[in-house]
Amino acid sequence: MRRPKARSRARSPSPAKRAAGAPVVTLIGGDGVGPEVIDAALAVIGATGVEIEWDRQTAGAYAVKRFGTPVPDALIKSLKRTRVALKGPLETRSGEGYRSINVYLRKTFDLYANLRPTLSFAGVQTPFRNIDLIVVRENTEDLYSGIEHVVARGVVESIKVITARASRRIARFAFEYARRHKRKSLTAIHKANIMKLSDGLFIRCARGVAKEYPEIKYREQIVDAACMRLVTDPSSFDVLLLENLYGDIVSDLCAGLVGGLGLVPGANYGDKGAIFEAVHGTAPDLAGKGTANPIAAILSGAMMLDYLGYAGAAAAIRTATGKVLRSGRVLTGDIGGKATTAAMTAAVIAALGSNR
């Protein structure tokens, strides 16, 4: 299996200017396997020689136990100061407890664009070859606005919020990314045949922005048809533009095409900051066992380095990661091997050294 050509290296659309001295980055270890995979990312970043001052903060379940809140004031102050974070997964319970911290942080800091590059790696066995997809997800509204209320006993209403401002903003982000990285097409995914007002507004905004980028082929597809097509002919897609909920679901589907969530990095960008995090969750069943796949966290760290202006170090991490996966000798259990988190991390660091 060959890794596709590196036309899709995922960088921030507007890398931050590197300040004098080591940059300061907020570090959030997370819950479950978070601290383990984040430690792996730190070790790999350190092995590149890039010096970063880490401002360690807590959030999520651990913060609730220690501070009585999932989002301590110290965390918010740190993010306001650094405007950049590397973050592990945080626990969000289903149907109870506090609201998603991920959603809260994205909305608080207006991190409106979620970018999830999904690439095939030689050495990871899946039924698919040469996957090269970029998922761009609107991050601040839709059903994730969290506006819900009880209408009557046994009847609950959730409100889907779609605005022209947010729709145009995320469409322009996606087209700018496509232009900068020389992508050939962009597909807006929707359900406007049913939600004619909300999804209709979204695709009308996307169409308007598309006119500004005539060199990029613009297409539209209904979300259920797009999911079917992704698992039958993924090569027909390039950049995918989605609303919040569809983007969350479809990005996980895309991860399944390349071997799972343990391989896919993610970034949340705003005009004045960014948070980098793996796509996967806390995996509490694996916590403390030392078997979690660190690749998604490591590659999220590479995206962060791109944003901070260390493109060479970021590229070196991607090359080393690809080399380890291509060999097929050091793989964690989720991708067909028996390696530990530490062994996978050590292999990437060794590959970094051999490439110098």
* HEC readout, 23-42: CEEEEECCCCCHHHHHHHHH
Check whether residue 138 and residue 98 sit in a common domain: no
Q: Is residue 181 part of a domain?
A: yes
> Which tens digits make up the pLDDT trace of 213-244?
999 999 999 999 999 999 999 999 999 999 99
Residue 192 lies in a domain: yes
Q: Are residues 137 and 39 in the same domain?
A: no
Q: Domain check: are 251 and 234 in the same one?
A: yes
Question: Which stretches in the chain have pLDDT values below 50?
Answer: 1-12, 95-96
The pLDDT value recorded for residue 47 is: 96
- The whole-chain average pLDDT of the chain stands at 91
C-alpha 335/C-alpha 109 separation (Å) is 35
Q: CA distances (Å), 34 to each of 31, 86, 243, 284, 327, in order?
A: 5, 11, 27, 9, 26
Whether residue 93 is found in the same domain as residue 135: no
229 CB burial (10 A radius; 0-12, 13-18, 19+): middle
| pLDDT cut 90: percent of the chain above it | 77
- What token pair was written down for 335? 């991708």
Residue 198 inside a domain? The answer is yes
Is position 321 within any domain?
Answer: yes
Provide the number of structural domains found in the chain. 2
292 contacts 260 by C-beta, under 8 angstroms: no
CB atoms within 10 A of CB 11: 21
- Does 117 reside within a domain? no
How buried is residue 15: exposed, middle or buried, by Cβ count under 10 Å (0-12/13-18/19+)?
A: middle
216 and 150: one domain?
yes
Amino acid 6: pLDDT: 37
CATH code for the domain in which residue 159 is found:
3.40.718.10
In this structure, which long-range contacts are made by residues 182-185, counting pairs with CB atoms below 8 Å and at least 24 apart in sequence? 182/7, 183/7, 183/8, 183/134, 183/216, 183/238, 183/239, 184/216, 184/217, 184/238, 185/216, 185/217, 185/218, 185/219, 185/237, 185/238, 185/239
Q: Based on the domain organization, do 185 and 232 belong to the same domain?
A: yes
Residues 154, 250, single domain; the answer is yes
Pair (248, 152) in one structural domain: yes
Q: What pairs with residue 264 in β-bridges? A: none
Give the model's pLDDT for residue 99: 63
Domain presence at residue 249: yes
For residues 250 and 294, state if they share a domain. Answer: no
Q: What is the per-residue pLDDT across 158-174, written as a single tens digit (0 to 9) for each? A: 999 999 999 999 999 99
Asked whether residue 238 falls in the same domain as residue 315, the answer is no
Q: Is the model's pTM score more than 0.85? A: yes
Note down the domain range covering 189.
127-258
C-alpha closest to that of 89 among 145, 141, 37: 37
Residue ranges with strand state E in 5-83: 24-28, 53-57
Whether residue 269 sits in one domain with residue 242: no
CB 188 within 8 A of CB 182: no
- Name the helix (H) or strand (E) containing 221: strand 217-222
Residue 220 lies in a domain: yes
Structure confidence at residue 181 (pLDDT)? 96
pLDDT score for 61: 84
Residue 147 lies in a domain: yes
Domain boundary among 240, 258, 276: 258
The backbone region for 283, taken as left when phi is positive above 0, alpha when psi lies in -120 to 50, beta otherwise, is left
Q: How far apart are CA 97 and CA 164, in angstroms?
A: 32
Beta bridge partners of 113: 138, 269
Examine the fold and report which residue of 229, 258, 287 is the final residue of a domain before the chain moves on.
258
Report the alpha-carbon distance of residue 105 to residue 89 in Å, rounded: 13
Last residue of a domain, one of 203, 234, 258: 258
Instruction: Give CA–CA dist 352/313, Å, rounded.
Output: 10
Q: Are residues 37 and 139 in the same domain?
A: no
